[in-house]
Structure 1
Amino acid sequence: MSRASMPPVVYDVTRLVTRGLNTSPNGIDRVDFALARRFLSRGAVPLSCTAFGPRLAETRKALEAIDEIESFWREDGDVARDAVYQAVVAALTAPKGARIARARLERKPGTERIARNWRALRDWALHLGRPPSEIPQGAVYFNGTQFLLDRPWYVRWLGSRPDVKPVSFVYDLLPVDQPQFFRPVEAMLHPRRNRNICRFAAGVVVSAREVATRFKAFAAENGRAEIPVCVARLPVSPVFEAATEPPRELAGVDYFVVCGTIEPRKNHLLLLNVWRELASRGRAPKLVVVGKRGWLNENVVDMMARCPALAANVVEAAGLSTPGLRQLMAGARALLMPSFGEGFGLPVAEALVAGAPVIASDLDVFREVGGAAPDYLHPLDGLGWLQAIRDYSEPESRRRAATLARMAEVKIVNAPDVFFETIETFLAAL
């Protein structure tokens, strides 16, 4: 679409500029950075929460922050520079019986880097900038993460600028529907931020039809049944599309990957119990647990740390780079996603784009993302997951071959340009 038809855009970079304190991106980070780069490179104005309230900043300053943080995350494709990836390889190739689970593989930035990141965050917090009153008439205010939308003092300026059209990306309403998987404070704040979205937003963007249906019901309950909703399927990083041979250093190693923050909704405990049973039978492959530790995960963390049957077979890897994850997927028997609920499930799309088989929970949203390609199981079917892992571990696994055959027949859509253009067309029509 022509840039002339787009209204002026103000992109909220508040959450983005705090990411330099994290050693690697999660799914929302990747989407936030992609949207920010798209809008800012096309002249959008950044807005950030500061000690002085919401303030407008320079586009150049925000783009420099994006480049700096992505450089820190090592998104350049060189796994040789990824210490976590190298440590995972060492753990997977350790002599049989070595206790690899006791040492948590985690990237720890140096003291100098931590100090620099804190200085950058301080500079943003103390940024004087310009007040929201200087936002162009009729502009779109885009918040790609819902960050701080639960805070009345943060959204107050929207009431004084009714000409501005707020748009938010809503990833899911899982803390509303499944509060047992979240911290009590999150189960309280998520409904509040979505009620504020219903109150102020001129439109909402979601990544899946299932989320659109759920949000429309929530909006109707809060007096905004008419709010426009745009469905834009999340794009996968080009890193996963690049042709990648299985790692030579892992030749002959049977391993699986599970990717996601370690928190109860991701259902890591099921996999650990499967691996404990496999280890007791003396035929356990390796499992790489990719993701940082989140919340309400004491059972999972304790089991990984204290269960002797897992010590030689499970590797916990926090801070793995995106290229490192792509490399692991190239040689994995399968990506495992036993989640109880997801708003999209970006690792499923990433694995399928990369050509890695997927065993996933039988969720409607996963079927929307992966079609018939993944091998679907109920998230509580422990025996089913046990049998699937055993089947995929076989040297000439017919079950794995059948999944690869389905993947060849199912076209996995990954069109970043379509994602951005769908959103831009939606914004132009508001």
Structure 2
Amino acid sequence: MPGIFLDVSRLLSRLVSGKLPTGIDRVGLEYVRHYGGRGGTRAVMSERGFQVVLSVRDSERAFELLLNQDFTRSRDVRALVVRAILGAVKKERVGPGVLLHTSHSGLEFNRYFEAMKRRDVRAVFMLHDLIPLTHAEYCRPGVLETHRQRMRVALSHAAGIIANSQATLDSLVNQSRCEGWDVPRTTIARLAPGVTVSAPGERPIKEPYFVMLGTIEPRKNHWFVLHVWRRLVELHGKQAPTLVIIGRRGWECENAVDMLERCAPLRGKVVEEGHCSDARLHDFLHHAQALLFPSFVEGYGMPLVEALVTKVPVIASDLPVFREIAADVPEYLDPLDGPGWISSVLDYAKPASQKRQSQLARIQHFEAPTWSQHFKAVDDFIEALA
């Protein structure tokens, strides 16, 4: 196995900012947990394409800080950064090795990967999705061109690409044909749940409730579900189930925020959890009637795996990637089928719901991907590239 270098730029930045890990961050943390425990693995930080490689000792310290997710230790992170910058003057040859870059952050800068190549370190990138290129309408202005540049740079420098699903890899191949990009060697390594299954705590809400999990943004379809909930309250009043939205407010979600803040019928029937610990998230998920996942598009769908591995039913959009991961286990609906979502929510809210019981039976046969399987695929891929 060649020397391993982990890009931890995004992880350290979010730790210093006091931000809880997103799905992409949880994947990055698993890479830190897997490779950081190996002797000699080194951390890499970059800012606008200028990179520094931490010493082995400082890398171990960075990995420890990241895995502990202690937001009070920002001073320690800054000290690591200062030492790394001061030590970067030497520019020693650090390879041969492989740089594992598991986020999309910073991919747009050629100079980063050219510099690593000069130091005999080749790059392997994890691809989470191509949504900014295929569905730009769900992204912030300017993200389309940034992501196109990221893909262009990544593909030109990559020794290999790790895709999180066949659907993501298919999307890359199709987009590359349109753009005229060459695709390097690839592998698929599906993602395991980002939360540890443990004994649940007390039920957080007494009455039946449903959970949505993820950043509030247009493609997640929160606005639609909030309208579904308004209709449920109009039809059933206090007997309507509760909706729990777990995730911070993202970008261009003003319509959803207006509903959350100003829609009187939703008060008391929609709970917003913008800063939810893993333990609290697990409790909410474990006791829910179902996870609602009405996205228009996804590269993978970590919440779906997390729900099913916790034995919680899922009502989801009928997306190819969901069927790839979970086959026929979830209840699938069109993401714009209002009557269908209303009917399913009401059915799953019943104590003796036959549909819910049927899915609970199907869940028993669900086999979630594991991190052992994921890293076996990645390690074999790295060995093959070497």
User: Would you say the 8 A contact 2:161–2:184 is kept in 1?
Assistant: yes
Q: Give the direction of change, closer, same or farther, for the CA distance of 1:263–1:143 in structure 2 (3 Å limit).
A: same
Structure 2 matches for 1:101-116, cutoff 5 A? 113=72, 116=73
Q: SS where residue 142 of structure 2 aligns?
A: helix
2:52 to 55, 64, 83: 55
Identity %: 34
Q: 1:41 aligns to what?
A: 37
Counterpart residue type for residue 150 of structure 1: E
Q: TM-score, normalised by structure 2?
A: 0.92
2:152 and 2:48 mapped to 1: Cα distance? Answer: 25
Residue 393 (structure 1) shift: 0.9
Q: Give the direction of change, closer, same or farther, for the CA distance of 1:302–1:226 in structure 2 (3 Å limit).
A: closer
1:65 and 1:289 mapped to 2: Cα distance? Answer: 32
State the 4+ residue runs in structure 1 displaced beyond 6 angstroms: none
1:13 to 2, 8, 13: 8
Q: SS where residue 414 of structure 1 aligns?
A: coil
Q: 2:376 aligns to what?
A: 421
Q: SS where residue 184 of structure 1 aligns?
A: coil
Structure 2 matches for 1:212-361, cutoff 5 A? 212-237=169-194, 239-240=196-197, 242=198, 244-245=199-200, 247-248=202-203, 250=205, 252-281=206-235, 282=237, 283-361=239-317
Q: Give the direction of change, closer, same or farther, for the CA distance of 1:215–1:248 in structure 2 (3 Å limit).
A: closer
Q: Give the direction of change, closer, same or farther, for the CA distance of 1:277–1:58 in structure 2 (3 Å limit).
A: same
User: Would you say the 8 A contact 2:62–2:80 is kept in 1?
Assistant: no
Q: SS where residue 154 of structure 1 aligns?
A: helix
Q: SS where residue 15 of structure 1 aligns?
A: helix
Q: Does 1:148 align with 2:103?
A: no
Q: SS where residue 219 of structure 1 aligns?
A: helix
Counterpart residue type for residue 146 of structure 1: H
1:391 and 1:155 mapped to 2: Cα distance? Answer: 53
Q: 1:130 aligns to what?
A: 88
Q: TM-score, normalised by structure 1?
A: 0.83
Counterpart residue type for residue 57 of structure 1: L
2:258 and 2:82 mapped to 1: Cα distance? Answer: 37
Q: 2:27 aligns to what?
A: 31
Deviates more, 1:318-327 or 1:252-261: 318-327
2:147 and 2:83 mapped to 1: Cα distance? Answer: 27
1:126 and 1:8 mapped to 2: Cα distance? Answer: 22
User: Would you say the 8 A contact 1:51–1:125 is kept in 2?
Assistant: no
Q: 2:160 aligns to what?
A: 203
Indicate the structure whose relative CO is greater, using CA pairs within 8 Å and at least 6 residues apart. Answer: 1
Structure 2 matches for 1:329-408, cutoff 5 A? 329-408=285-364
Residue 222 (structure 1) shift: 4.8
Q: Give the direction of change, closer, same or farther, for the CA distance of 1:307–1:118 in structure 2 (3 Å limit).
A: farther
2:146 to 170, 185, 189: 189
User: Can you give the 5+ residue segments of structure 2 that lack an aligned partner in the other structure?
Assistant: none
User: Can you give the 5+ residue segments of structure 1 that lack an aligned partner in the other structure?
Assistant: 1-5, 74-108
Residue 188 (structure 1) shift: 1.6
User: Would you say the 8 A contact 1:198–1:222 is kept in 2?
Assistant: no
Q: Give the direction of change, closer, same or farther, for the CA distance of 1:334–1:177 in structure 2 (3 Å limit).
A: same
Q: Give a deviation string over 1:177-208, Cα, whole Å, max 9, x none.
A: 00000001212211110010111101000110
Q: Give the direction of change, closer, same or farther, for the CA distance of 1:317–1:226 in structure 2 (3 Å limit).
A: closer
Aligned residues: 380
Residue 146 (structure 1) shift: 2.3
User: Would you say the 8 A contact 1:17–1:121 is kept in 2?
Assistant: no
Residue 368 (structure 1) shift: 1.0
Residue 248 (structure 1) shift: 4.4
